[in-house]
């Protein structure tokens, strides 16, 4: 093994402001996997801080990620190999909202189409791994924060090398935040809330995991997770989440063959019950009341054979998506996917190589065949079934130079299936497009960095060529404007500069700055803007970190320039840039007791980080939502 797999290890995650103990495990190097040094901040914030081109978006009580201009289903999100999707047709709930807070113990981020172990790694893959099987004892964590927020978590583990039982859970509540001008975020809603100061979100969850040895060479793990979110407010959008209930069951079997090869089998089922409306929390009067009750599930199995340098696998994935009641019509669709992949890593001379290839057969069906509705009028078809063959491949190579520098080159090409929303869903002013082709990305990334010494600069450039990229468009049918999707070609390119410097034995300064641009090569119907939406021109972060045996102190800032090119047809508004300062302190009071303190937006700045429109053509009315003002968190973790 010649490349680093970088993981972030932490005890728990409470919302986006909490702090968790973060360590690092490095056993191999891969240029497309970021290297993190992240003690004292949450894992997602650590990934965000150390990954140029990555943005964590505040959509309200939910969070989303954007990686080099791509987001949502263009980025694969998995938990223990289980592919996660959101439940909302309007994309209110990001996939990362359905990853349990209690069992997120490691994160691995691969940028771009440079991993084929999962399907649809179009713009990158974010892999969450669950709690370790060997934790024994009792761990309690309590957190208090600004805006009447609090969280409590527990973890209990017992057992031996042959069998182990782990149960963990918690609850967290977040009150209504205020911006840097002391205004409640609820005041930014177009429709007033019944209680402007009500809770912003409320979560409860529990996870049970049991691992045992069925034989000397066979290990079995069974895990069930229940995660309920009863409140999830989105002031800048047309509806709030009334309920998000998540149930996940996983069974994994690891067997070591006589030849020494490892055979892994895993099966999973994940279900999301998602209820959203615009009247439970707001003063919405009839006939403007809207409600959607969505049931979404994902299930499948994976069979993986590992043999030293080789990894080969088979996968079967199924996704069902239904809206039992709602403003939309024809919301009953399913996707089936069968995949095969092979990856290899090896070294030859001073070069290290990693390559992979993947083939997927994808089937998508609209179960509302009796009601093709507006598809026959807008797209002149009543088609209800689609089959696609998807192909992905990549090659990554790297070589050290003078034992201090590293040169890396990543080349990749990947496709993702067309989403059921894009193919089939419809309502009076919106209809999916059955003619859509599976989008493809071709990416090249070149990096050069210094790995040793007190000063460690780095530079990377990338170019993403998007073929058949899916974007909203507007067509006229009988004098009426109808929103839909269509394929267009586009490109995204950028450059990232980084610097790490050891100011002293315990004090490190790090800096990264990214500039990127995205443009359509052709205009979608009804559009006259070539710029791609939500791609900030310049973003950057700077950090000072001081570490000692018992203390970790961090001070960091994040900034963005004013937007220059925006997609006015997509409702995007020009933003004036931002600059935030944050700080955290972690103190190990004893071997089993730890105190953590954090403050975000230390200078209490009033700023908007991103546009808040829906990511589909159903409703593109923009209401900008500012970031929360100065906010504090303090956490105490006790182990027994």
DSSP output for 287-347? TS--EEEEEEEEEEEEEEEEETTEEEEEEEEEEEEEEEESS-B--EEEEEEEEEEEEEEEE
Single pTM value for the model: 0.85
Distance between CA atoms of residues 315 and 340, nearest Å: 6
Q: What is the mean pLDDT of each run of 10 residues along the chain (640 residues)?
A: 27 28 33 48 63 73 78 82 80 77 70 90 83 83 92 91 91 92 91 92 92 93 92 87 91 92 95 90 87 88 92 95 64 90 88 94 80 71 88 93 89 92 77 91 94 90 94 80 88 92 92 90 82 85 90 91 77 84 92 91 89 54 83 91
Number of Cβ within a 10 Å radius of residue 363 = 15
**Sequence-ordered strand ranges (E) for 60-175:** 63-67, 70-71, 76-79, 82-83, 106-111, 124-129, 137-145, 149-159, 163-174
Q: In this predicted structure, what is the pLDDT of residue 309?
A: 87
Collect all residues with Cβ–Cβ distance below 8 Å to 406 and sequence separation of at least 6: 31, 398, 399, 400, 447, 448, 449, 450, 451
**Residue 550 near residue 587, CB atoms below 8 Å:** yes
Distance between CA atoms of residues 625 and 458, nearest Å: 34
Distance between CA atoms of residues 460 and 448, nearest Å: 6
Q: How far is CA 633 from the centre of its chain?
A: 23
Of residues 240, 251, 239, the one with CA closest to residue 214: 251
**Residue 13 near residue 227, CB atoms below 8 Å:** no
Fold of the domain built from segment(s) 7-639: Maltoporin; Chain A (2.40.170)
Distance between CA atoms of residues 73 and 356, nearest Å: 21
Distance between CA atoms of residues 537 and 560, nearest Å: 8
Q: In this predicted structure, what is the pLDDT of residue 610?
A: 80
Collect all residues with Cβ–Cβ distance below 8 Å to 290 and sequence separation of at least 6: 238, 239, 277, 278, 279, 326, 327
Query: Where in the chain are the domains?
Result: 7-639
CA angle 588/49/610 to nearest 5° reads 130
In the structure encoding, which two tokens stand for residue 307, read together?
């043999």
Q: In this predicted structure, what is the pLDDT of residue 56?
A: 74
**Residue 559 near residue 575, CB atoms below 8 Å:** no
> 547 to each of 25, 43, 106, 507, 552, how far by Cα in Å?
18, 18, 22, 7, 4
**Residue 581 near residue 592, CB atoms below 8 Å:** no
Distance between CA atoms of residues 390 and 26, nearest Å: 33
* R_g of the chain, CA atoms, integer Å: 24
Distance between CA atoms of residues 83 and 106, nearest Å: 16
């Amino acid at each position: 093994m010649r490349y680093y797999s970088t993981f972030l290890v932490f005890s728990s995650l409470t919302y986006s402001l909490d702090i968790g103990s973060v360590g690092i495990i490095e056993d191999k190097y891969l240029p497309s996997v970021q290297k993190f040094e992240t003690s004292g901040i949450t894992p997602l914030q650590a990934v965000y801080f150390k990954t140029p081109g990555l943005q964590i978006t505040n959509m309200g009580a939910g969070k989303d990620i954007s990686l080099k201009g791509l987001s949502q289903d263009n980025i694969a999100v998995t938990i223990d190999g289980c592919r996660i999707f959101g439940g909302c047709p309007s994309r209110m709930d990001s996939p990362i909202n359905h990853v349990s807070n209690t069992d997120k113990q490691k994160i691995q981020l691969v940028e771009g189409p440079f991993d084929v172990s999962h399907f649809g790694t179009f713009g990158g893959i974010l892999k969450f791994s669950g709690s370790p099987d060997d934790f024994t004892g009792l761990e309690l964590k309590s957190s208090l924060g600004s805006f009447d927020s609090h969280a409590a978590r527990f973890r209990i583990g017992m057992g031996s090398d042959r069998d182990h039982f782990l149960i963990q859970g918690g609850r967290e509540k977040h009150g209504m935040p205020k911006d840097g001008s002391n205004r409640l975020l609820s005041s930014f809603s177009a429709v007033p809330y019944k209680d402007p100061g009500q809770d912003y979100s409320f979560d409860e969850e529990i996870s049970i995991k049991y691992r045992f040895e069925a034989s000397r060479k066979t290990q079995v793990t069974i895990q069930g997770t229940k995660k309920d979110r009863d409140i999830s407010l989105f002031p800048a959008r047309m509806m709030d989440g009334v309920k998000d209930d998540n149930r996940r069951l996983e069974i994994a079997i690891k067997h070591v063959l006589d030849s020494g090869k490892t055979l892994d089998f895993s099966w999973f089922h994940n279900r999301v019950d998602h209820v959203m409306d615009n009247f439970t929390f707001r003063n919405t009067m009839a006939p403007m009341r809207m409600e959607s009750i969505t049931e979404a599930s994902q299930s499948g199995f994976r069979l993986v054979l590992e043999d030293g340098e080789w990894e080969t696998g088979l996968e079967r994935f199924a996704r069902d998506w239904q809206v039992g009641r709602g403003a939309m019509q024809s919301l009953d669709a399913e996707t089936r996917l069968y995949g095969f992949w092979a990856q290899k890593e090896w070294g030859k001379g001073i070069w290290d190589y990693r390559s992979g290839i993947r083939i997927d057969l994808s089937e998508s069906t609209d179960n509302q065949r009796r009601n093709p509705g507006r598809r026959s009028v807008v797209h002149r078809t009543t088609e209800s079934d689609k089959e696609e063959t998807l192909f992905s491949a990549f090659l990554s190579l790297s070589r050290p130079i003078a034992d201090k520098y590293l040169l890396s080159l990543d080349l990749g090409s990947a496709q993702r299936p067309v989403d059921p929303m894009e193919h089939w869903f419809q309502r009076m002013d919106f209809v999916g497009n059955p003619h859509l082709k599976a989008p493809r990305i071709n990416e090249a990334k070149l990096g050069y960095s210094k790995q040793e010494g007190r000063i460690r600069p780095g530079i990377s450039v990338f170019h993403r060529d998007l073929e058949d990229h899916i974007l909203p468009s507007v067509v006229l049918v009988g004098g009426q404007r109808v929103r839909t999707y269509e394929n267009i070609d586009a490109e995204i390119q950028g450059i990232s500069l980084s610097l790490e410097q050891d100011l002293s034995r315990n004090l490190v300064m790090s800096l990264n700055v990214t500039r990127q641009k995205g443009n359509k090569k052709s205009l979608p119907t009804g559009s006259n803007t070539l710029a791609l939406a939500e791609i900030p021109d310049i973003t950057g972060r700077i950090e000072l970190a001081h570490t000692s045996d018992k203390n970790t102190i961090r001070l960091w800032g994040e900034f963005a320039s004013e937007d220059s090119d925006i997609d006015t047809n997509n409702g995007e508004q020009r933003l004036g840039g931002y600059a935030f300062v944050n700080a955290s302190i972690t103190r190990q009071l004893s071997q089993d007791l730890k105190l953590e303190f954090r403050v975000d937006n230390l200078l209490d700045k009033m700023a908007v980080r991103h546009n808040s429109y829906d990511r589909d053509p159903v409703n593109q009315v923009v209401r900008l939502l500012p970031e929360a003002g100065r906010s504090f968190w303090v956490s105490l973790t006790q182990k027994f």
